[in-house]
């Protein structure tokens, strides 16, 4: 009854694997580069092949999977999982799928493709659709550690950001219990919080001011396009514009699903403050 955790190098996958292993459950880690994994003793690592026959063999004895969304491999994985006797998949999808026009949005379309592939294979699937992560704030490390102002086009946009460990806890609950099995849930943190407030929490955690400069959307687009695909830049700027006037409403959290208080951004800031200090 092995549980396979894909994306085991990622912050959520690693937390899921660690939690399952701590419970004494048989778990296997999958990564594009298994040799780079630092795993607990007794946990095997595998690289998942691309072809149906080899993938089916690699899934032997696996009954549950924590799956990162990969549209390129979705159909093959779904067919292999069904053939191998996988009983349950917990998919890390995206709240972008909640958009009625998700099929026309590259972010939504990619995750929707994976959801549809699993549904077509008739696999029991728990779909987790988180929105923005607290850890997106790591994008400010260079500015904060160097003392330069953070430039943002919509500093007062307010999103219900979620702590990555909250997602991991919900995934583990879905893999170890029956209450969430087969459900589709949109996940957020406990409250909508603006970028300005996030920066304020980081400043408090670091014990110093962090300056903010408001730039135009065009300036932000030019800056963001240096490191992000155009469709992501466009989607983010659009969301931020909307949530400046209408803050995002929280959806399901660890509180509503598990009865456990959701972690706040302030908590995330305190936990991760060392990453924003000058090395």
Mean of per-residue pLDDT scores for the chain = 95
Question: Residue 219 in contact with residue 160, Cβ under 8 Å?
Answer: no
Predicted local confidence at residue 173, as pLDDT = 98
Distance CA 144, CA 132 (A): 20
What's the pTM value of the predicted model, to 2 decimals?
0.95
Question: Residue 1 in contact with residue 28, Cβ under 8 Å?
Answer: no
Is the model's pLDDT at 278 over the cut of 80?
Answer: no
Predicted local confidence at residue 125, as pLDDT = 98
Look at 3-17, 39-53, 209-223 and tell me which has the smallest mean pLDDT: 39-53
Question: How large is the average pLDDT for residues 32-43?
Answer: 86
Is the model's pLDDT at 205 over the cut of 90?
Answer: yes
Backbone angles phi, psi at 12, to 5 degrees: -80, -50
Look at 39-53, 65-79, 132-146 and tell me which has the smallest mean pLDDT: 39-53
Backbone angles phi, psi at 123, to 5 degrees: -90, 135
Predicted local confidence at residue 1, as pLDDT = 80
Predicted local confidence at residue 105, as pLDDT = 85
Place of tokens 């300005």: 196
Query: In which element (H, E) is residue 231 found?
Result: helix 230-245
Is the model's pLDDT at 241 over the cut of 70?
Answer: yes
150-185 pLDDT tens trace: 999 999 999 999 999 999 999 999 999 999 999 999
Name the β-bridge partners of 151: 213
Residue among 40, 29, 8 at smallest CA distance from 168: 8
Question: How large is the average pLDDT for residues 207-212?
Answer: 96
Question: How large is the average pLDDT for residues 264-278?
Answer: 95
Strands 150-152 and 125-130: unpaired
Question: How large is the average pLDDT for residues 257-268?
Answer: 98
pLDDT: which is higher, 167 or 41: 167
User: Which sign does the torsion angle of CA 263, 267, 269, 271 carry?
Assistant: negative
For the chain, percent of residues with pLDDT exceeding 70: 99
Name the β-bridge partners of 133: 162
86-103 pLDDT tens trace: 999 999 999 999 988 888
How sure is the predictor about 279, in pLDDT bands with cuts at 50, 70 and 90?
low
């Amino acid at each position: 009854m092995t549980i396979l955790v894909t994306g085991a190098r990622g912050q959520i996958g690693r937390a899921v694997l660690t939690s399952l292993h701590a419970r004494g459950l048989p778990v296997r880690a999958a990564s594009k580069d298994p040799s780079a994994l630092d795993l607990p003793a007794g946990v095997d690592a595998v690289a998942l092949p691309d072809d149906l026959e080899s993938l089916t063999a690699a899934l032997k004895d696996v009954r549950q999977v924590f799956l990162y969304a990969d549209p390129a491999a979705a159909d093959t994985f779904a067919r292999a999982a069904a053939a191998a006797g996988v009983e349950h998949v917990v998919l890390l999808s995206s709240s972008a799928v909640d958009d009625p026009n998700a099929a026309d949005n590259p972010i939504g379309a990619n995750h929707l493709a994976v959801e549809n592939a699993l549904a077509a294979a008739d696999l029991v699937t728990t779909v987790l659709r988180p929105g923005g992560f607290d850890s997106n704030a790591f994008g400010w490390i260079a500015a904060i550690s160097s003392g330069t102002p953070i430039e943002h086009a919509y500093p007062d946009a307010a999103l219900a950001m979620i702590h990555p460990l909250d997602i991991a806890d919900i995934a583990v609950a879905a893999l170890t219990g029956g209450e969430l099995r087969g459900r589709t849930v949109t996940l957020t943190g406990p409250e909508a919080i603006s970028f300005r407030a996030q920066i304020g929490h980081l400043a408090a955690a670091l014990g110093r001011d962090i300056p903010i400069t408001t730039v135009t959307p065009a300036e932000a687009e030019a800056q963001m396009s240096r490191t992000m695909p155009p469709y992501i830049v466009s989607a983010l700027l659009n969301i931020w514009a909307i949530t400046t006037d209408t803050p995002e409403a929280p959806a399901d959290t660890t509180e509503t699903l598990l009865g456990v208080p959701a972690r706040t951004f302030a908590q995330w800031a305190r936990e991760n403050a060392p990453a924003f200090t000058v090395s």
